[in-house]
Structure 1
Amino acid sequence: EVIGVYKLAEFGVPEAMWVIRVEDFPVVVTMDSHGNSIHKNIEAESQGKFAEIIGV
């Protein structure tokens, strides 16, 4: 259910700020409001652990 939308005229549909209500919709947020990406963090950690394992 769409509760509201902000900046639609300025940014268009894909980039507007949508306020929605959902139920039974599990999600994983992968980027925070500061631009930090969980994908980059996990990749960096994984590369470090891999280097430890193979002795590099």
Structure 2
Amino acid sequence: MVRRGFRVSRCLFVLVAFFLFIGLVVVVVAALLLLLLLLLLLLLLVFSATLDSH
């Protein structure tokens, strides 16, 4: 009985760790995409500013 409970809790732990890992990956990817978008926006602003000055 105790063994079975231990096995279930271990399986649950693996599942939780897996979901946490997926969540972390999603957050990192979203942050990178946001950073890339901000960088592109900054480049666009700089490009338009240089076009206006010339």
TM bracket (short chain): 0.3 to 0.5
The structure carrying a bigger strand percent of its residues is 1
- With CA pairs under 8 Å and 6+ residues apart, which has the higher RCO, 1 or 2? 1
The structure carrying a bigger helix percent of its residues is 2
**With structure 2 as the length reference, what TM-score do the two structures score?**
0.41
**With structure 1 as the length reference, what TM-score do the two structures score?**
0.40
Larger radius of gyration: 2
